[in-house]
Amino acid sequence: MKKLLTLVCLVTLSIALFVAVFSVVHRPLVVGEIQKSLDYKLAYARELPSPKIVLLAGSNGRYSHRCEVLTARLNKPCVNASIGVGIGLDFLLDQWRPVLRRGDIVYMPLEYGQYRFTQAEMHGGLQNALMVHSQRDYLLSLDAERITAAYGSFDLPFLIHGLAEMALDHRGFRRRSSTDSLTPQGDESGHTAQRSQAYASFLRGSAAESAQVPVTSDVIRVIDSFLQQARRDGILVVGGLPTVPDSVTVEAADVERLRSLYESRGQAFVALPNRSRYPIDCFFDTLYHLNEGCQKAHSAAVAAQLASLLWTHPYHAH
């Protein structure tokens, strides 16, 4: 009995120590910056009248698309809700649902890899630490498996990264990409072609991600549910293609699979004639991020497609 009591005490002490350590240790330069960016974008969105445009993807949405260009062409306010692929799509959609209103347009040029994510990959992102530190009410609204996974994300690598980031943050270190580099609408800015020269060798040696789209996946089921709910709420969701180098083969069958996903749920889909493929010189620091000049040119092309769609789509009745 004494041994059992000792064991229980040790387990309790271990849990208490674990909670104490990871309640203090955090990652201000990564996880903290994600929450800061999310707050920045949501605050802007809440001030916008509807109908508004919400541009939602991973970092491709932030670097390769420009809300101010869409607003100029479509005469509608726009917020760039995109953050990064490392944030689970179901989590991101939950953050944005409360600010969506009837008549709004959600443009989703999701990265190809997102469509292939399993539930484990979707729920293994940086949102776990973010929920524990900044969104506990939301975390506690989830099932026990998700809550366990969130607390389970705190491990030795997190501790090491956290201590390093806290030290850097204390010394005033700032990431080159943060809320400070965003436009008021939430677009990435300042990623010029000149600055991209520092990454030119890296880009030319990088292997681009496959553009293959599966028939179904855990993320596709999340998207499917969102499309149906948006339809019931009078929100138009428009699927699109992410920007990739022109060396990437984007098969017509994959484009049509995406088109079917959106259109079969009463939503819409647009694709540029070039399937959003650009010369390698158009990219900034990864093969999904256009430099600023190409970002604006691509956004103008997307805006023209959206303008044509909105004029002919039944949504126009709104």
Pairing of strands 105-108, 78-80: unpaired
Which of 312, 72, 26 lies closest to 187 in space, CA to CA? Answer: 72
Which of 105, 90, 58 lies closest to 231 in space, CA to CA? Answer: 105
Determine the pLDDT at residue 8: 52
Q: Are 222 and 253 a contacting pair, CB within 8 Å?
A: no
The number of residues making up the chain comes to 318
Determine the pLDDT at residue 17: 47
Q: Are 71 and 299 a contacting pair, CB within 8 Å?
A: no
Which of 153, 22, 152, 41 lies closest to 86 in space, CA to CA? Answer: 153
Every domain of the chain and the residues it spans: 27-317
Pairing of strands 236-239, 268-269: parallel
Determine the pLDDT at residue 32: 60
**What is the identity of the amino acid at 116?**
R
Determine the pLDDT at residue 33: 77
Determine the pLDDT at residue 14: 46
According to DSSP, residue 2 is labeled H
What is the second-level CATH architecture of the domain 27-317?
Answer: 3-Layer(aba) Sandwich (3.40)
Cα 56 from Cα 42, distance rounded (Å): 12
Q: What is the pLDDT of residues 51-69, one digit of tens each?
A: 999 999 999 999 999 999 9
Cα 47 from Cα 42, distance rounded (Å): 9
Rg (CA), the chain: 21
Determine the pLDDT at residue 172: 67
Query: Alpha carbon 20 to chain centroid distance?
Result: 30
Determine the pLDDT at residue 317: 46
CB atoms under 10 Å from CB of 145, counted, come to 10
Q: What is the pLDDT of residues 267-307, one digit of tens each?
A: 999 999 999 999 999 999 999 999 999 999 999 999 999 99
- Full DSSP string of 50-74: SS-EEE--SHHHHHH--HHHHHHHH
CB atoms under 10 Å from CB of 10, counted, come to 10
Q: Are 51 and 103 a contacting pair, CB within 8 Å?
A: yes
Locate all alpha helices (DSSP H) within the chain, ordered by sequence. Answer: 2-24, 31-46, 59-64, 67-74, 89-96, 112-115, 119-122, 127-134, 136-140, 144-152, 156-170, 193-196, 200-204, 218-232, 252-263, 292-312
pTM for the model stands at 0.87
pLDDT along the chain (318 residues), means of 10: 58 49 57 82 96 96 96 97 89 96 97 94 82 84 85 69 62 67 92 92 90 95 97 97 96 97 97 97 94 97 96 65
Task: Provide the sign of the torsion angle of the four alpha carbons 191, 247, 60, 29, taken in this order.
Answer: negative
Determine the pLDDT at residue 311: 82
Task: Provide the sign of the torsion angle of the four alpha carbons 290, 58, 82, 69, taken in this order.
Answer: positive
